[in-house]
Amino acid sequence: MTSALSAEWTKIRTLPGTGWLLLGVVLVTVTVSAGASRALSCTSSSACHPDITQLSLTGTDVGQAVVAVLAVVAVTGEYATGMIRTTLAAVPRRTVMLTAKAIVITTLALAAGAVAAFGSLLAGRLILPAQGYTPAHGYPDLSLADPAVLRATAGTVLYLGLIALLSLGIATAVRDAAVAIGIVLGLLYLFPVLGLAVTSPDWHRHLQQIAPMTAGLEIQDSTGLSTLPISPWAGLGVLAAWAAAALLAGGLLLRFRDA
Amino acid sequence: MTAATMTPRRPAAERAGFGHLLYAEWTKFVTVRGWVIAMVVSALLTAGIGIWATSGYHGLPCGKVLPDGRMVGGACPAPPLGPGGEMVTDSFYLVRQPLPGNGTVTARVTALTGSATSGIAGGTSELQPWAKAGIIIKASLRQGSTYAAMMVTGGHGVRMQDDYTQDIGGLTGGVSAASPRWLRLVRSRDMLTGYDSVDGTHWTLVGTTRLSGLATGVQAGIFVASPDSVTDENVGATLASGTFDHVTVAGARPGSRWVGQDVGSGATGNPLSGGYRQSAGVFTLQGSGDIAPAVRNSAGSGRPADEGIIGAFAGLIAALVVGTMFITAEYRRGLIRTTLAATPRRGQVLAAKAIVTAAVAFAAGLAGSAAAVLLGERMLRGSGYYIFPVGGLTQVRVIVGTAALLAVAAVLALALGVIWRHGAGPVTATIALIVVPFFFTGPMTILQGPAADWLLRVTPAAAFAVQQVLPAYPQVANAYIPQYGYYPLPPWAGLAVLCAWAAAALGLAAFLLRRRDA
């Protein structure tokens, strides 16, 4: 297992794209978060965002796409170049190979996610008071000492790690980058769009409870927790279930299919 | 000109070549089973999700659950239709007299204030900007009947409005006892002329309108209406109070008495009811509702006919993946070298690929969106919703425009595939450019106002404007957001933005394809 981990780490480390993608995760997340914090100024009571923790972490919505690319390319790149046959010749136990890959990719995603989440929070802390979100208006400064903020930020990091696992599973199952990315981003973004057409509150709630993105991102909510369709940690659990299902499907296909 | 500088004529075989090239690309497409299946899936997703979404309504749209758990309401009453056939809102408090023929209504408005709200979280009794107090001449008491009115509004000065959709501005500024507004409406057969004044002696013409089919006997009087307070999240009824004096109806039968009436009350399930007091020539009216075209928001039972088009998002993602793979698969397998050896004119290869991609995506989009719109409309009607009447041409524009959206987006994905030569980048980029901006301004409504409008003007997501069927009315306060089918750009202009992106990407792709080794 150690040598499999070492092999996966060497492969991912020496790919030219990895560094750029990790940088992309951080830059995209922090930029979009800062942009959203800048765009929603709190000048009148109706325009104020009720939850500045969530607002300052908005970039996750887009940054997760880069995490998905990182994880998908790590698998499909091997299929595109034929490297997968060498990999499986070196590590014949396919479950071990997939586990090693999952550990390496998830570690990278968590590391980039941590920088991205803390960067977003820092940007929010610096930008939001100037936008009118001041303690005087009932918005205390964002601080990790606040348990809700800490949970949202740490949860965002975990969320991005789970997105990497979900993407890895799907990529292992379909083996093509374009298809895998299409499926991952479709799963993430389509559910909320569908929620638009369904105005029945019950159906709307059910959609939010089962969708990997909307359920998973409840971890970022710090206000109005009693009205959420699903509690923050349960929501993250839903995403974890999606990731586990994808990994299981990918793992089974990898196990029983020729490479 | 000398022979040396002349370009030699191309051989005939090469000129005829583009047709062959198209055929070659078409053959490549249809012989990859996965792509054909993907395009069929794209059409099925568009249609299936559209039909599922429109049939996913459970229960009756107008039923409301009271805090004590009781259900009130039930099936929605049919919304009234205006003289132009459009769906309208027509409920207000009216104090009226019959007007048997020609005549003039005059009144002075001295106050207009907000007095109550209902159903709004953190309730407010703020005066709505489009709350109205004024004089009206209306064909009958039937909702949706033709009318003309002069009114003072909460935040938009004096207006003359007629037949729900027409709106002309008069005196500006608010109304108060210190600064009252005089309003006058003169009827001569079916011609109505509105005047306003600050002192009751110097009158200014505001507008003239012809109400076709106005009967001889009509209703004339004073009214107050206060439209729903609408934010992105909340809709709630409001009540406004208006004070009138110097109210006269010249031309009314001698001895006519004032009769107060809540027009359209009960029909909308509005919990606020109006009323009036009269003492010493001073009328105080309380009214809720609006006299205006109906707009789509979360509260109404009206739905646009094309609500099922939401399924096109799923079909779009499939089309983007196939558009990308149509070129990146050639790079991955090395087929691109054979292709370019067979046809050294690389620009033509790209053109042929673009045409095939666009044609296939258009066909899948057309089949999917036609089914989603036509069947979705039936589903909505079956669930008890009322469909905003739209012209057949608009319906065609939505269906064909959505198919074009898929086609152009797939070409954009193809061009990015040439630029990138790998699959992951183009799919992510196109989804980030087309779906995510919509997502930010729609489902999550993270961005509102100018930032959201800006996103939907410059990103390829602007193309969703081609799906807008309902006009936005400046005289009706509403959340005009993508979620309810309102976009900042006109339909074809939005599609043109996507076309510009695709053209720019194709240009760069052609340049790189020529410059680079394959």
Residue contact A203–B58, C-beta within 8 A:
yes
Query: Nearest chain A Cα to B323, which residue?
Result: A178
Overall domain count for chain A: 1
CA B454 to chain centre: 17
Residues of B in contact with A185 (CB under 8 A): 317, 427-428, 431, 435
Could you say which DSSP state residue B456 is in? Answer: H
8 A C-beta contact, residue B475 and residue B88:
no
Give the N- to C-terminal CA distance of chain A in Å, as an integer.
20
pTM for this prediction: 0.88
Q: Give the range of the structural domain holding residue B104, as residue numbers without chain letter.
A: 88-293
Q: Is the dihedral of CA B377, B378, B382, B386 positive or negative?
A: positive
Q: Cα angle at B83 between B79 and B88, to 5 degrees?
A: 30
- Looking at the fold, whether B285 and B328 belong to one and the same domain comes out as no
Distant-in-sequence, close-in-space partners of B353: CB < 8 Å, separation ≥ 6: B25, B326, B327, B414
Across the interface, of B321, B432, B442, the residue whose CB is closest to A193 is B442
CA atoms within 13 A on the CB side of B277: 6
CB contact at 8 A, A153 and A144: yes
Residue B369 lies in a domain: yes
The amino acid at residue B310 is: I
Closest CA to B201 of B222, B221, B180: B180
Asked if residue B218 lies in contact with residue B187, where contact means CB atoms within 8 angstroms, the answer is: yes
In this structure, are B166 and B220 located in the same domain?
yes
Whether residue A47 is predicted with pLDDT greater than 50 in this model: the reply is yes
Same domain flag for B381 and B432: yes
Burial class of B508 by CB neighbour count within 10 A (0 to 12, 13 to 18, 19+): middle
Give the one of A58, A73, A203 whose C-beta lies nearest to B56's C-beta: A203
Residue-level pLDDT at B234: 67
What residue of B is the nearest CA neighbor of A213?
Answer: B444
Do B356 and B216 have their domain in common?
no
Q: Are residues B465 and B489 in the same domain?
A: yes
With an 8 Å Cβ cutoff, are A196 and B443 in contact? yes
Is B72 inside a domain boundary?
no
Please check whether residue B303 lies inside any domain of the structure: no
Residues B232 and B103 in one domain: yes
Judged by average pLDDT, the poorest of A4-18, A231-245, B226-240, B249-263 is B226-240
Annotate A142-157 with b (16+ C-beta within 10 A) or e (fewer). Answer: beeeeeebebbbbbbb
Domain that holds residue A204: 2-256
* Cα–Cα dist B200/B106, whole Å: 9
B37 and B183 in one domain?
no
Looking at the structure, do residues B285 and B382 belong to the same domain, yes or no?
no
Residue B40 token pair: 């069929």
| Interface with A, mutate which of B439, B459, B467, B481 (most A CBs under 10 A) | B439
Supply the DSSP string of B479-512, one letter for each residue. ---GGGT--SS-HHHHHHHHHHHHHHHHHHHHHH
Assigned domain for B301 exists: no
Q: What is the CATH number of the domain that holds B234?
A: 2.60.120.200
- Of the residues A45, A181, A213, the best mutation for testing chain B's interface (the one with the most B CB atoms within 10 Å of its CB) is A181
Question: Does A83 reach chain B within 8 Å, measured CB to CB?
Answer: no
Could you say which of B293, B318, B352 is where a domain stops?
B293
Residue that is last in its domain, among B266, B293, B320 = B293
Instruction: Write out pLDDT tens, residues A109-128.
Output: 999 999 999 999 999 999 98
User: Does B280 share its domain with B398?
Assistant: no
Residue in the block written with tokens 């099936």: B75
Regarding whether B148 and B267 lie in a shared domain, the answer is yes
- pLDDT per residue, tens digit, chain B (518 aa), is 444 555 555 555 555 588 999 999 999 999 999 999 999 999 999 999 888 888 755 445 555 544 554 445 556 677 888 998 888 889 999 999 999 999 999 999 999 998 777 655 445 578 889 999 999 999 999 999 999 999 999 999 999 999 999 999 999 988 999 999 999 999 998 999 999 999 999 999 999 999 988 888 999 999 999 988 876 666 778 889 999 999 999 998 888 899 999 888 655 556 677 889 999 899 999 998 899 998 887 666 677 878 888 889 899 999 999 999 999 999 988 899 998 988 888 999 999 999 999 999 999 999 999 999 999 888 888 777 788 888 889 999 999 999 999 999 999 999 999 999 988 899 999 999 988 888 777 656 666 677 788 888 999 999 999 999 888 899 998 878 887 888 999 999 999 999 999 999 999 999 999 998 87
Domains in chain B: how many in total?
2
Domain boundary pick from B293, B322, B348: B293
In chain A, count H helices and then E strands: 11, 0
Is B57 close to A189, i.e. CB distance below 8 A? Answer: no
Which residue does chain B place closest to A202, by CA atoms? Answer: B58
* Cβ distance of A194 and B298 shorter than 8 Å: no
Residue written as token pair 């929603």: A40
Q: Are residues B234 and B94 in the same domain?
A: yes
Would you call A198 and B436 a contact, using CB atoms and an 8 Å cutoff? no
CB contacts of A207 in chain B (<8 Å) are none
Tell me: do B43 and B112 sit in the same domain. no
ipTM above 0.85, yes or no: yes
Chain B hits for A202, Cβ within 8 Å: 58
Q: How much of chain A, in percent, has pLDDT values that exceed 70?
A: 97
